[in-house]
Structure 1
Amino acid sequence: MKKSKKWIIGIIVLLVIVGIGWLSFGHKSESQNEKVVKVGLMSGSKADDEIWNSVAKTAKDKYHIKLQFVHFTDYTQPNAALTQHSVDINAFQHYAFLNDWNKKHHTDIKSIGNTVISPIRLYSNKYKNVKQIPNGSQIVIPNDATNESRSLIVLKDAGLLKLKDTKNGLLTVGDIKDNPKKLDIKEVDASQTPRLLNDSAAAVVNTNYALTAHLSSKKSIFVEPTNKQSKPWINLIATNKDDENKKEYKDVVKAYQTNKTADLIKKNYGDLELPAWNRKFN
């Protein structure tokens, strides 16, 4: 074998060894520097997945954080998983839900950043505006504590009810002060509200259930205003109190609160969901 060929073969072998070494050690070192954060989410739509996949890319590219998503099907699961340290942070609830959860379960889960607000709407298959609703009509609202309270405020803002001034926290139908149209307020599971539209004058429907039921926003006859009363309904990213100052968790919030995320929310949801981190609630 000629000397020149031996040199060429030697160089190739050396390059192969260097390449293997970089793949084995360089990539491993890069991977070791990457922090993993487990995020608890409700099983959502393709739109939700697109938004969170974008956040994951930003977290990885800008903050060297790898997001691992853990999906749940029941609203009682993400906070329980958080207190059991099965996830590091979660993003599925608003402040009213969180405060109620902490009170009932004696936990200390904290918000570390706002995400979106989803104004709920009063829908009707029969009427074009609130004033057309006849006396004695049935109005359907969700029966869980936070959404019942929220729905009653919506009916009040729509001019259908007057509510007592109460400092007891969440409102119930017992806090109705004046019901001039003698409306029959029917409380049902939130998931059932869209199905009862044909049997009632109107129904307050949460955004997620309106989307699931393919309920057109054209059927909406009143939209919850976004003002200082809306603050309890702002959605958030949460973690346990002991972890609320962890840099990597705060960096995930930064990865979420971007113009890119806001654009994706607008693209996928229009005005059904609104970015809450850059909005004033006066």
Structure 2
Amino acid sequence: MNPRNRNIIIGLVIIVIVAVGAFFAFNQKSTKNTESKTVTIGIMSGIKEDDIIWKSVSKTAKDKYGITLKFTQFTDYTQPNAALANGDIDLNAFQHHAFLDAWNKENGNKLVALGNTFITPIHLYSSSIKDISEIKSGDTIAVPNDASNESRALYLLKSAGLIELSVSGNTLATVKDISKNPKNLNIKELDASQTARALDSVAASVINTNYATAAKLPSKDSIYAEPVSKDSAQWINLIAARQSDKDNETLKDVVKAYQSAATKDAIKEAYPEGQEITAWDLKLK
């Protein structure tokens, strides 16, 4: 073979080898960059309105960050934090700051807030009266029995002028902190999931929005709504993670996927009456 031709052939072979190597290297890098990551989030079950929101968040997480969201549903507030602390899920999204603070105090500060989601004013409902002024002496009012939501309910009753408390601000209140009860109301402490079911046996019930929605109780039918102000910061809902995952970039990207314009639109679609208010950019006055 002519030496010149041989050199040309050798040169072409080298070029092909380099090109093939570059192709596989690029393809491997591209696959790595677009590889889907999976994050499991604990949420409360049985709320189709929230399904609308999470469907939107899932799309944003997948399209923008390559993250696949999976969900574990829980039936009461005692479960999601324990599941997160135990490593059964990667994140949860069901609680406000006061609830997380109370849980951490009892369980050794194992969880952290990664980002705010929304705030939902709670409401006082009744199946027997139409106005809060109709509450009579000796009536029974049901409230959630977990520390943070009971406190929130008591502050609601205070703002409605039904009771007075010996504590204020971010201090958690209990029934022992009721300093004045002019109508001698009976405060009945129940699991939050039971407050809506208790409506037929009490004069009124303080019901968290997710349980009110599941029970088909529109906020417009409540007899009193919690005011939203600068004192409401502790009631802002959040996405929580384990302390060890506070700097996990994938989990932070899930928060970014939630805190998006698409999520705002989904919340407006799911809750057209404004029951949920986006809180990651909320300015409280």
TM-score range, shorter chain: 0.7 to 0.9
Q: TM-score, normalised to structure 1's length? A: 0.83
CA contact (8 A) 1:125 1:219 kept: no
CA contact (8 A) 2:119 2:236 kept: yes
Distance 1:38 1:135 in 2: 48
The superposition leaves residues 66-96 of structure 1 with CA deviations (integer Å, 9 ceiling, x where unpaired) of: 2222333343332223223232222111111
Percent identity of the aligned residues? 52
Aligned residue in 1 for 2:269: 267
Distance 1:73 1:188 in 2: 15
Task: Give the superposition deviation at 1:42.
Answer: 2.5
Matches within 5 A, 1:1-282: 29=31, 33-165=35-167, 169-269=171-271, 270-282=273-285
Amino acid at match of 2:276: E
Distance 2:242 2:283 in 1: 26
Change (3 A) 1:184 1:80: closer
Amino acid at match of 1:170: L
Change (3 A) 1:48 1:27: farther
Amino acid at match of 1:156: K
Distance 1:50 1:218 in 2: 21
User: CA-atom RMSD, angstroms?
Assistant: 2.5
Q: For this pair of structures, how many residues does the alignment match?
A: 260
Change (3 A) 1:167 1:280: closer
Q: Please, which moves more after superposition, 108-117 or 239-248?
A: 239-248
Amino acid at match of 1:103: K
The superposition leaves residues 220-257 of structure 1 with CA deviations (integer Å, 9 ceiling, x where unpaired) of: 11101111221221110111122212222111111101
Q: Please, which moves more after superposition, 148-157 or 221-230?
A: 221-230
Q: Please, which moves more after superposition, 266-275 or 41-50?
A: 41-50
Distance 2:159 2:169 in 1: 18
Change (3 A) 1:34 1:211: same
Distance 1:174 1:104 in 2: 20
Change (3 A) 1:211 1:36: same
Amino acid at match of 1:192: Q
Alignment partner of 1:210: what SS?
helix
Amino acid at match of 1:176: I
Change (3 A) 1:168 1:128: closer
CA contact (8 A) 2:169 2:231 kept: no
Task: Give the superposition deviation at 1:26.
Answer: 7.5
Distance 1:43 1:130 in 2: 31
Q: Please, which moves more after superposition, 63-72 or 97-106?
A: 63-72
Amino acid at match of 1:29: T
Change (3 A) 1:101 1:163: same
Q: TM-score, normalised to structure 2's length? A: 0.82
CA contact (8 A) 2:52 2:270 kept: no
Gaps of 5+ in 2: 1-22
CA contact (8 A) 1:139 1:200 kept: yes
Distance 2:202 2:43 in 1: 33
Aligned residue in 2 for 1:5: none
Change (3 A) 1:59 1:167: closer
Task: Give the superposition deviation at 1:32.
Answer: 6.1
